[in-house]
Every structure is written in structure tokens, then in C-alpha cells.
Amino acid sequence: MKINNLKNFAKKIRKNIIFTAYKAGAKSAHIGGALSSADLVAVLYSGIMTFAKSKTKIDDNRDRFILSKGHACLALYSALVEKNFLKKKDLESFEADGSDLLGHPIINKIKGIEFSTGSLGMGLSLAVGVSIAAKKKKKHFKTFVILGDGECNEGSIWESVMSAAHFKLDNLIIIVDRNNYQQTGSNSQIMDLKNLKQKFTSFGCDTHEIDGHDIKTIYNCLKLRNKKNQPKVIIANTIKGKGFKLFENNNNWHHSVITKTIYKEILKDL
């Protein structure tokens, strides 16, 4: 796998994210959390997952991706454009009246969206159900979930983590986008997550902690086979708003409007 291809894919995702947010105008968009997960999503779609567009039907054997932190949907939509599930033009319908592409993903298997997400704390339970189903049906696809760190405030996350380990789901990969922020402040201010790695490990997961923007590291960590009978957890240390100096670690860009002036200015960062 050429790391450069993955990097290029990530760049395209970032480009699509800010393009969509800019086109959304005053409707505004979740920007920071989409950009922090951009590299993770990029590596999954361009280097890891079996996930190809079929003209006739939904491929039953494709890997399943569940964006539990649904507000980062711009990263998902952007990847789906690059994988030809969506057209670039579709991005301009983001949050428009009657659109398929709202501010949180809506289930649309033909277009590559496995589940509706956005109400936090629910995606991993679905993933556990899907992973159990895969085992029962002896299917070889894997299920990848991205959780937000703020999302880990939800008790339901820990119900599902407990069950993922209990059911020995070694076909399940959980990635935590650890950008250290949530809607109105830093994790430590709002609800301190303390040592996430320790938490997941003590729940029985094989837990790794990596730089969530180092493409090669992400790739290698995802490529690593799950330990037998264990779900794999990757705590990906990221930067909210990553890729654009104006947005990085600036929580005002959790959900905001990109004006024409700002759009022109930040394009230079690409």
C-alpha cells in the first residue's frame, strides 16, 4: 500500500469537508470533529476496508463502517464521494430541504451509509449486533466504528464495550477520535475521561494508542489482526480542526460557518 495514496485521499477528504461546509453557508456545519477524524476515515476507506461501489446491488460482504459520532458526517460524505457512492454535486445538497445528506447520517445502504447515527452512544451497540451476526453467518467482513471522546460520556457506550469483549468480537474494530474536546469545552472541563486506554483495556479490549494523524501509523495499526477473541480498540490522539491553522484546537469551530473570505484563506493550508 502506497502511503502517499492514503495521504492524497485524506487531503481530498479535507478539501471536500471545507467545500461542503462553505457551500452550506449560514446553515453551518460540524467542522472540528469532522477534520479530527479525517485521517482515520481516509485510511479506512482508501487502504483498509473492502468497500467498492457496485452498480446493481449492495455488496453483502463489504466491510461495515459505522460513524457513531454522527456529527462528523462531513468526513463520511467526503469519503463516499471519493469512493463514488456519492457525487461531488451531492455535497452541495448538504442540509438542504429534503436532502439525503443532513447534518447527521441517514441510513442509505445503496449510498454506502449503514445506519442513521448522531444521537450519541448508539453506534457501537449496532456494531456489536452486526459483528455477532457476521460470526453466526460465518461472514468474513469486519466492522469498524468511530466513537467521539465526548461520546464516551454516554453510559450506553460502556454497555456496548462490555458486550463487545464478552462476545469475543475479534471482527470488530473500535476507533476513538480522541481530540480532547466536546461541544462546549475540553473533555477535562466538561467530563474528564481520565485514562481511556486503561478503561478499554480493563473492559477486556486489545487497546492501542496512536497518533491519529500519522497516516502510516494509522494504517499499520488498522492492518494489525485483532487478537483472537478480542475486539480491538484504537485510541487515536487527534487535533480538533486538524489541517487548518484557524480551526486547530479552537473549539469555536465545533459547529460554525465558513464564509467566502475564510474559505479562500484556509484553502492555502491544503
Partner 1 sequence: MNEEKNIKLWSVLGMRASFGLIALELIAKNPDLIITTSDVSTSAGLDRYKQKYPDNYIDVGIAEQNLIGISAGLSSEGFKVISTTFAPFQTLRCCEQIKVNLGYMQNKICMVGLASGLVLGNLGFTHCSIEDIGVLRSIPNIAIVVPSDPFELFKLLEEAINYKSSVYIRLTAGANTSIINSTNYNFKIGKAVEIIKGEEVAIIGCGNILGNCLEASKALMKKGINPSVINMHSIKPIDEQKILQVAKHNKLILTVEEHNIIGGLGTAVAEVLSKHNCNCKLEKLGINDFYAKGGSYSYLQDIYGLSVEKIIKKVLLNIKNEK
* Binding to partner 1, residues 66-125 (CB under 8 A): 107, 114-116, 119, 121-122, 124-125
Query: In the set 67, 130, 196, 233, which binds partner 1 (CB under 8 A)?
Result: 130
Position 209, amino acid: E
Rounded Cα distance, 148 and 62, in Å: 24
How far apart are alpha carbons 38 and 13 in whole angstroms? 7
CA distances from 76 to 37, 162, 202, 223 (A): 9, 27, 30, 20
Per CB under 8 A, does 190 bind partner 1?
no
Nearer to partner 1, 21 or 146 (CB): 146
Nearer to partner 1, 96 or 133 (CB): 133
Q: What is the nearest approach in angstroms of partner 1 to the Cβ of residue 233?
A: 17
CA distance 206 to 26: 43
Q: Which of 128, 175, 205, 234 binds partner 1 (CB under 8 A)?
A: 128
DSSP per position, 149-216: TGGGGSHHHHHHHHHHHHTT-TTEEEEEEE-SEETTEEHHHHS----HHHHHHHTT-EEEEEETT-HH
User: Quick check: 257 binds partner 1 (CB under 8 A)?
Assistant: no
Size of the site for partner 1 (CB under 8 A): 27
Applying CB under 8 A, does 173 fall inside the site for partner 1? no
Residue 160 in contact with partner 1, rule: CB under 8 A: yes
Q: Name 148's bridge partners.
A: 177
Residues of the shown chain interacting with partner 1 in the complex, contacts defined by CB under 8 A: 107, 114-116, 119, 121-122, 124-134, 136-137, 155-156, 159-160, 162-163, 166
